[in-house]
């Protein structure tokens, strides 16, 4: 997801940006403002309650920051914590805080960390709250030190502190939905619903100042319109693009290029375990057998690698070729017949044009197996309310950074509960060695694939499309963020 950086610029250039004329690519002019185009706008900015990646794309590490961060190599590094220690038994984490200031002028303190961690523990989103299940005590030792005490060692907790738990000022959660406040290099200055968010560089930022004084994050719902805006010079960068055609078009246009961003994004179909239609495992297996992942990826022109298991990214340590229900439409039809099901119709809401093609292909493939999809296109706000918030769906297609831990009981989207899966995840979380962790986690992902309430389709590579005189883009993403911190003009020091 994309962030827009805007700086103090001349009155003429600022007026051009506000009127939407932007900087034409042929002019190759540079300014202290960065304009980012983004195709999704969340209903609000409360990342504790709203799971859309559009929130994390803009906010994480740009506006709000975590105590630690995860590098491309998977190692945990200090961020808002200038140092952190883990005891030998893995049950105590001690964080020493930097001298940082929130955008509202308040100084970062241990009280803010305790407040933010307790909010995360109470989050209705299991991917945020579940890693806190083993946390027994969250304590402010002094103004600059916070200690977490766990009942058992937990790798999930450490990873969550790096990717799920930004620190916000104590008492500020009521304002999080409309005006988030953090310690990042940019402050959240303005949100015009349906139009843009304006970020302004924080002059008191504790780290390296960003290259741009101002970022404008423009919402352009239609991908083709957003791509045309980039090529016309109205925006400078378009992040999180997964379609090959759009990437090729930009790479073949003078003055523009693309950079791939390795992420944890994965595309999957999810079935609602609350629906009696999917109670029989033969029905779920039939749907999985009906899907041709290779044809799907080609038809969507996705920069994606087909997969049958939810392991993202598929590192060497975690790699699995397990595929319990390979493409076999004849077997899909036989499975439905064995289950005594005829004329199965499945209500299938999806959001934005990004998923219209994949939904069309899925409808064709499932139709050949005797399953009729009933697609319903929704805007993101409606989808978040009805599908995510109220489970008003039978099946849907999702793309996100969710890890296998998101399907602990009750499973993300599905509502499914499988005690054997929970046991494997608990074993992985408490593993003494990396090899033991990988073995249990891989087994959990393979068990989930056999369960077939979640049907992984492919791991996705996102691309940032941009003017070729911009550089410094992050080539990996740990939390679906679009990292603005390193972006700058070519040949300009940062």
Mean pLDDT of 248-270: 91
Containing 363, the helix (H) or strand (E) segment is: helix 356-368
482 touches 240 (CB < 8 A): yes
pLDDT at 493: 66
The lowest-confidence range among 70-74, 385-389, 485-489 is 70-74
Mean pLDDT of 231-257: 93
- Report the chain's terminal Cα–Cα distance, integer Å: 23
113 touches 97 (CB < 8 A): yes
**Alpha helix segments (H runs only) across 373-412:** 380-383
- Per DSSP, the three-state class of 193 is coil
pLDDT in tens, 332-348: 999 999 999 999 999 99
Task: Give the DSSP letter string of 417-433.
Answer: --HHHHHHHHHHHT-SS
- Nearest 5°: the CA angle 11, 204, 237 is 50
CA within 13 Å, CB half, 391: 12
pLDDT at 19: 38
Q: Is 3.90.76.10 the CATH classification of the domain at 68-174? A: yes
pLDDT at 146: 98
Q: What is the mean pLDDT of the chain?
A: 90
Question: What CATH superfamily classification does 5-62+184-256+465-489 receive?
Answer: Periplasmic binding protein-like II (3.40.190.10)
pLDDT in tens, 46-61: 999 998 889 999 999 9
- The tokens describing 116, both together, are 């933010």
pLDDT at 438: 86
CB atoms within 10 A of CB 433: 8
pLDDT at 494: 62
Query: Residue ranges per domain, the chain?
Result: 5-62+184-256+465-489, 68-174, 266-460
Secondary structure of 85-108 in the HEC alphabet?
A: EECCCCCEEEEEECCCECCCCCEC
How far apart are alpha carbons 263 and 242 in whole angstroms?
11
Task: Give the DSSP letter string of 263-321.
Answer: ---EEEEEE-TTSGGG-SHHHHHHHHHT--HHHHHHHHTBSEEE-SS--SS--TTT---
pTM: 0.74
Mean pLDDT of 131-158: 94
pLDDT in tens, 72-108: 777 889 999 999 999 998 899 999 999 999 999 999 9
Question: What CATH superfamily classification does 266-460 receive?
Answer: Dipeptide-binding Protein; Domain 3 (3.10.105.10)
pLDDT in tens, 437-482: 889 999 999 999 999 999 999 988 889 999 999 999 998 888 889 9
């Amino acid at each position: 997801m994309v962030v827009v950086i805007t700086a103090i610029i001349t009155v003429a250039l600022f007026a051009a940006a506000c009127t939407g004329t932007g900087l034409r690519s042929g002019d190759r002019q540079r300014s202290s403002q960065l304009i980012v185009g983004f195709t999704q706008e969340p209903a609000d900015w409360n990342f504790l309650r709203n799971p859309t990646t559009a929130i994390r794309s803009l906010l994480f590490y740009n506006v709000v920051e975590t105590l630690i961060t995860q590098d491309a190599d998977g190692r945990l590094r200090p961020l808002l914590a200038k140092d952190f220690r883990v005891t030998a038994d893995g049950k105590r984490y001690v964080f020493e805080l930097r001298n940082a200031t929130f955008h509202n002028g308040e100084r970062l303190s241990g009280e803010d960390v305790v407040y933010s961690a307790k909010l995360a523990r109470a989050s209705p989103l299991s991917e945020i709250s579940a890693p806190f299940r083993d946390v027994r005590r969250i304590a402010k030792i002094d103004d600059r030190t916070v200690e977490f005490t766990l009942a058992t060692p937990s790798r999930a907790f450490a990873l969550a502190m790096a990717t799920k738990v930004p620190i916000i000022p104590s008492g500020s959660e009521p304002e999080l939905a409309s005006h988030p406040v953090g310690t990042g290099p940019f402050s959240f200055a303005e949100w015009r619903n349906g139009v843009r968010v304006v970020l302004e560089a924080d002059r008191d930022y504790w780290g390296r100042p960003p290259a741009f004084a101002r970022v404008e994050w423009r919402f352009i719902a239609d991908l083709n319109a957003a791509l045309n805006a980039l090529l016309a010079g109205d925006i400078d960068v378009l992040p999180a693009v997964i379609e090959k055609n759009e990437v090729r078009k930009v790479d073949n246009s003078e003055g523009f290029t693309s950079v791939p961003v390795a992420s944890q994004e994965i595309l999957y179909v999810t079935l609602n375990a609350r629906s009696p239609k999917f109670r029989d495992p033969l029905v779920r297996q039939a749907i999985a057998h009906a899907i041709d992942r290779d044809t799907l990826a080609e038809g969507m022109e996705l920069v994606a690698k087909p997969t049958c298991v939810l392991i993202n990214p598929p590192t060497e340590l975690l790699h699995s070729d397990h595929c319990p229900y390979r493409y076999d439409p004849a077997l899909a039809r036989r499975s439905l017949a064995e289950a005594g099901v005829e004329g199965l119709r499945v209500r299938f809401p999806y959001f934005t044009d990004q998923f219209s093609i994949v939904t069309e292909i899925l409808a064709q493939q499932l139709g050949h197996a005797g399953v009729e999809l009933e697609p319903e296109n929704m805007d993101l706000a409606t989808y978040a309310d009805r599908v995510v918030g109220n489970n008003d769906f039978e099946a849907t297609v999702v793309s996100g950074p969710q890890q296998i831990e998101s399907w602990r009981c009750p499973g993300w989207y599905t509502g499914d509960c499988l005690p054997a899966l929970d046991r494997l995840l608990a074993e992985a979380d408490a593993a003494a060695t990396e090899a033991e962790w990988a073995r249990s986690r891989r087994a959990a992902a393979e068990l989930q694939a056999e369960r077939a309430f979640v049907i992984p389709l492919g791991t996705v590579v996102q691309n940032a499309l941009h003017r070729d005189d911009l550089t410094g883009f992050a080539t990996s993403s740990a939390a679906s963020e679009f990292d603005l911190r390193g972006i700058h003009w070519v040949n300009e020091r940062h």
